[in-house]
Structure 1
């Protein structure tokens, strides 16, 4: 079984989701490499056997990956409309709480244990274009925000990680709570000061010099003692040569057998 504790980003950086970085936010204007980076992260998570959930507010690139899932999983793991998104997030929260009930709230539970202790399958939620989804229905958008916050705050021990991405975040859809609990923050391409502030918070005023362009920009990784974001270039995934849909299907159904299914406990 592959090492499930991190996803390599470059020769010096890893997304250490198990121990240091709880979830992520990724922002990049159109054409600056967001989709290719998301595709890399999705394939990397699926390769280690993770269960993958996809929400795509614009019914675009991530939504097209629904055909990599079998029909049953397609109905439960993919969302695009606000109502579908709420349903998916409610069920994911129920799954998270079930894990806590079965493994972390019993007399035999071990202090300091997490999902790896019990060989639980890691779960990754990829939510692209929050503004499109939450802005479509403001009332439902508030519920979506509340459900996301629960995952960001409680997900790590249970093995549930949210990767939130957008062309441009706003304070209406990216609360301070969500941002500050995102252990990996990435900004690609050229952006305004307000956009950098939305991703990095107060760190935006201390950005180092960095090349900006397709797949290039800044990254902040929590838990490593960094005082500022650092220059970053995403892994290069040529989606013209790599069949993301075919590989995702293979990884989803070839590598999941290494883990327990909490619903069978």
Structure 2
């Protein structure tokens, strides 16, 4: 009986897809006497995944069909099967996935759920939930350096908060150090007393000094890998072990006129992966001059929340981010594109989660290396974010 039900279900699914082909004009015509016949793509497979709550089809085009026409007509598939579909293919074979569930418009942050997703990763980054309700995360060691962009109120700051809070709860302070630059002076103060956090700076001269310290650390780690003839800092002897370092700068575009800052950030994203040093950079208004080819090519993961237009979406490599209508929703590009709903972690909830990691710290100013120009001032390096020059 079950086999008959499954067979009937597949037959019905085949008919639905064939209707979509017909309405989209995806077929070839030929005449047999007085009759005009239509040849549709061949449906090879229909699968129903109860656990993932998806249905997917595998179909191939008849020789002579234009594969570009299939992708152009994706709106027809959405009309038939709903908005939550994913269509991929090449010159001949295509996979159509239909999701029975959709992304929530609001995703409360739940650490226990997130912890289980990130457990296999050495340095796990939580992204959110995809269109079929599944959590998405990745290992920063394999996909280093993150760019987060989005308008005010789009969810960018909340995403930074959830990423940093999750890292703190997942890693011990001897294994992870955080260096935070808060150019807008509005977000990172809750992390100031966390034991993983080496500093939270908003003064641009101090941020510059912090990055020069990171530059010195890069040089030392590079010397260690060379001395022990290893390709990654994780492979040096245990007695020389170094913690992972994440440099996170919110609204780093405000520092774009400081060549030293930009040079060090470029070096971090270029060589930091093998040395265990990673960058998380965020900005409201993507700027092609700041995100030059070198930086952009090495920021392997981009998260584009709501952006103003297609130009900004293209700069961040997140096409469609300009069309987002839901707060906390973003397009992620890390070798492929995802649409994701970010977890919402309120400030007060973050403080409660971080409270076990709070320690008393003396207010200590970052010492400036001797080669920083003594006449360098905040005005020299700190720009207003709205300055487009």
TM-score range, shorter chain: 0.7 to 0.9
Moved more, 232-241 or 26-35: 232-241
Distance (whole Å) between structure 2 residues aligned to residue 42 and residue 169 of structure 1: 22
Partner of 2:111: none
Alignment of 1:134-213 (within 5 A): 134=256, 138=257, 141-200=258-317, 204=319, 207=320, 212-213=325-326
Alignment of 1:57-96 (within 5 A): 57-62=183-188, 64-65=189-190, 67-69=192-194, 77-96=199-218
More helix by share: 1
Distance (whole Å) between structure 2 residues aligned to residue 33 and residue 208 of structure 1: 12
Q: What 5-or-longer segments of structure 2 have no aligned partner?
A: 1-118, 129-133, 361-389
Instruction: Report if aligned partners of 1:24, 1:183 keep a CA contact under 8 Å in 2.
Output: yes
Q: Secondary structure at the match of 1:46?
A: helix
The superposition leaves residues 196-243 of structure 1 with CA deviations (integer Å, 9 ceiling, x where unpaired) of: 01101xx63xx4997532110200113xxx2xx221111232324331
Partner of 1:18: 141
**Residue 233 (1) aligns with residue 363 (2):** no
Pick the aligned partner of 1:250 from 348, 354, 357: 357
Partner of 2:328: 215
Pick the aligned partner of 2:226 from 101, 105, 116: 105
Equivalenced residues, count: 229
Tell which structure's C-alpha radius of gyration is larger.
2
Instruction: Report if aligned partners of 1:46, 1:248 keep a CA contact under 8 Å in 2.
Output: no
Structure ranking higher on relative contact order (CA contacts 8 Å, 6+ apart): 1
| TM-aligned CA distance change 1:116 to 1:31, over 3 Å | farther
Distance (whole Å) between structure 2 residues aligned to residue 209 and residue 31 of structure 1: 14
Partner of 1:9: 127
Instruction: Report if aligned partners of 1:45, 1:124 keep a CA contact under 8 Å in 2.
Output: no
Q: Name the TM-score, length of structure 2 as normaliser.
A: 0.53
Alpha-carbon distance, 1:127 to partner? 0.5
Alpha-carbon distance, 1:80 to partner? 1.8
Instruction: Report if aligned partners of 1:80, 1:133 keep a CA contact under 8 Å in 2.
Output: no
